[in-house]
Amino acid sequence: MNLVICLLVSRGYVSKDRIRKAVEGYREQTDEAFEKMFERDKEELREIGIPIELGTNNKVFDDDPGYRIRRDAFELPRIDLAPDEAAAVGLAARVWQHARLARQTSTAVVKLEAAGVGVDPDRLTLVEPLLAASEPAFEPIWDAVVARRRVSFPYRRPGAEPSTRQIEPWGVLSWHGRWYVIGHDLDRDGVRMFRLSRVTGPVTPTGRAKAYEVPAGTDLRVLARQLEPAPRTGTARLRVRGGHGHALRRRATDVRADDDGWDLLDVPLADPERLADEVVTFGPAVVALEPRDLRDAVVRRLERLAS
C-alpha cells in the first residue's frame, strides 16, 4: 500500500532511489535486500492488476528511469452492485479506511515532498482513509486476531472498577453499532464478548504468534447473540439548559424546571456508554447527574477530549 501511494500521488516518474527513501520498510534494508523486496512488490502489484510504468521525466537529458502508476489505469471501471452488495462493500470500506493507513498515507506524502517530488494529494481519493473505528483498542486487537496472539487489557464493566482480562481473540465484529472482540477468556476459561469502548488502557500482546486456533465453524454473529447481555432498564437524570437537548427532551419521561434556566430530565436508560456518547455531543448544555456509571462514562469522554 505504501508503494501504491508513493507512485500514485507523484505527478511524474519516481526514481528507485527516491522510492527507497520514501516508502516505509525499504530504507533500513541492505542494497541487495531492497532490490529483492522492490522487485517482489512490483510483481505482486502487477499480478493483482495495478500497472506500474517505467519511464523518464525528461527524455532530452536522459534522466534516470523512474516508476509511476497512472490514475486512469489504476481506477476500476464502473461496477454495478445490487443494494445488499453495495451496502456490504460500503461497510467494509468504512472500516478498512482506517487510522493506520491514514498515518502511512500522510507520511508517504511528506517524504515525497521533502525529496523534491511533486505530488497531487487529490489522487488519494482512490485510497484515502476515513476513520470509522475510533476505539484505540481496535487496531491492536485486530492485529492480535490476525496474528493469533493472546492479549491482555484493562476492561471496565458498567458500575465496576477496571480489571485485567486475558483472552485469545477470535474476531472483531460490529454489533448494534458498537465494536466488540469475541474470544476465549483465559482466566474464566470460557467464550466472552468485550466491547472495545470499555477497554480503558493499552492492549498488550502476550506470547508468540499462532499460539492458538479458532474453533472450526465459529460464527461470530451467532456467538454475539448468545453472549449479548440482557438489556438494562433504568432512568438517567440529566440537567439540560433551556432551549437545548431537544432529542433528549422528546424521550424524557419527566421534565421539570430547575434553577437559572435549566431543566431536570428523566430519560430512559438502557446503555450508559451509548447515552454518554450522546450527552457529550451537547457540550456544556447537558450535565449527567445520575446514575454514577453514566457520569463516569461522560467524564472519561470529556477527559479524552480535553487531552
Q: Where exactly are the structural domains of the chain?
A: 2-126, 138-227, 234-306
Helical H segments across the chain, by residue range: 2-9, 16-22, 31-47, 71-74, 83-96, 99-114, 138-147, 220-227, 246-251, 272-281, 292-306
Which pLDDT band holds residue 250 (cuts at 50, 70, 90)?
confident
Query: Distances in Å between the alpha carbon of 285 and those of 55, 143, 243?
Result: 60, 39, 9
- Return the pLDDT at 203: 95
Whether the per-residue pLDDT at 100 is higher than 60: the answer is: no
Please choose, from the candidates 227, 158, 217, the residue with its C-alpha nearest in 3D space to the C-alpha of residue 190: 227
Say if strands 53-55 and 66-68 run parallel, antiparallel, or are unpaired: antiparallel
Instruction: Please give the Cα distance from 18 to 112 (Å, whole number).
Output: 8
- Report field, pTM of the whole predicted structure over 0.95: no
- C-beta neighbour count of 20 within 10 angstroms: 17
Q: Are 5 and 66 in contact (CB under 8 A)?
A: no
Joined together, the cell numbers standing for residue 277 give 456518547
Reported as a single tens digit per residue, the pLDDT across 51-96 is 888 888 776 666 678 898 887 777 766 767 677 777 666 666 556 5
Backbone angles phi, psi at 180, to 5 degrees: -130, 155
Name the class of domain 138-227. mainly beta
